[in-house]
Amino acid sequence: SQQGEEDPQALSIQEGENATMNCSYKTSINNLQWYRQNSGRGLVHLILIRSNEREKHSGRLRVTLDTSKKSSSLLITASRAADTASYFCATDSGNTPLVFGKGTRLSVIA
Amino acid sequence: NAGVMQNPRHLVRRRGQEARLRCSPMKGHSHVYWYRQLPEEGLKFMVYLQKENIIDESGMPKERFSAEFPKEGPSILRIQQVVRGDSAAYFCASSPPWGVYGYTFGSGTRLTVV
């Protein structure tokens, strides 16, 4: 079953703008992760946030997690054309395989 | 240190034939996961294996699909008597046997059933 649900499904912004993607999930989790997928390629791990963390940064990425609302957001600051990709959130509940959402397709226009 | 290697990258099979997809995990990784992705969709979990053991196959169709991860050699996802609906991208991922880490994904095998 699909655990994460990303919002919006598609997002188009100008280069230099910030991009925010949201993820909601249904059941309790141990960790939430964000991945990027360029067209026709495999997924690349971006960042992992544990259930007891509220915010995490990695370069131009900022992830927040609100376990009371069962939601997470991924912010990409100062976007570049190379950030064009699909972004997926994925959750695990202990020793369980990751469950992925359907993703947000981000287009960054130069 | 090579990443996750999947082959072939593209596979065309006629209806009724068998498809064999191979995945060599990253060095030091003993956990392997197979996912299926349809166009414009997310990844659907199929099976989770460790060496010589199937840990979770809750996402595998009951018929025609099987997976193994032998003591030596790559993990194999096998689809017997393929049908058009099996056409998809199949991704393999691996992770270390300890701690909490992100998965490392292969580039996928795109299966087309004609």
Distance from CA of B88 to the nearest CA of A (A): 12
Q: What separation in angstroms does the CA of B36 have from each of A18, A101, B42, B44? A: 31, 13, 8, 5
| Chain B residues close to A2, C-beta within 8 Å | 42
Across chain A, what does the average pLDDT equal? 93
Q: Per-residue confidence at B1, pLDDT binned at 50, 70, 90?
A: low
Q: Per-residue confidence at B9, pLDDT binned at 50, 70, 90?
A: very high
> In A1-110, at which residue ranges do the beta strands (DSSP E only) sit?
5-7, 10-14, 19-24, 31-37, 43-50, 55-58, 61-66, 71-76, 85-92, 99-100, 104-109
Per-residue pLDDT, B50: 94
Nearest Cα to A11, choosing from A20, A23, A2, A24?
Answer: A20
User: Is residue A56 less than 8 Å (CB to CB) from chain B?
Assistant: no
Which residues of chain B from 18 to 77 reach within 8 Å of chain A, CB to CB?
Answer: 33, 35, 41-45, 48, 56
CB A55 within 8 A of CB A102: no
What is the signed CA dihedral for A37, B6, B104, A108, rounded to 10 degrees? Answer: -10
- Interface touch A43/B43, C-beta < 8 Å: yes
Q: Name which of B44, B48, B107 is nearest A42 (Cβ-Cβ).
A: B107
- Interface touch A97/B101, C-beta < 8 Å: no
Burial class (CB in 10 A: 0-12, 13-18, 19+), B58: exposed
What are φ and ψ of residue B63, in 5° steps? -115, 150
Per-residue pLDDT, A1: 46
- Interface touch B105/A42, C-beta < 8 Å: yes
Residue type present at position B25? P
Q: Per-residue confidence at A3, pLDDT binned at 50, 70, 90?
A: low
Per-residue pLDDT, A5: 82
Per-residue pLDDT, B7: 97
Per-residue pLDDT, B70: 94
Per-residue pLDDT, A40: 82
Query: How far is the C-alpha of A1 from the C-alpha of B41, rounded, in Å?
Result: 13
Per-residue pLDDT, B98: 72
What is residue A4's three-state secondary structure?
coil
| pLDDT tens digit sequence for B48-104 | 999 999 999 999 999 999 999 999 999 999 999 999 999 999 999 999 877 678 899
Across chain B, what does the average pLDDT equal? 94
| pLDDT tens digit sequence for A67-104 | 999 999 999 999 999 999 999 999 988 778 999 998 99
Query: How far is the C-alpha of A19 from the C-alpha of B43, rounded, in Å?
Result: 22
Which letter does DSSP use for residue B57 in this model? Answer: -
What is residue A93's three-state secondary structure?
coil
Residue A63 clears pLDDT 90, i.e. is over it: yes
Q: Per-residue confidence at B19, pLDDT binned at 50, 70, 90?
A: very high
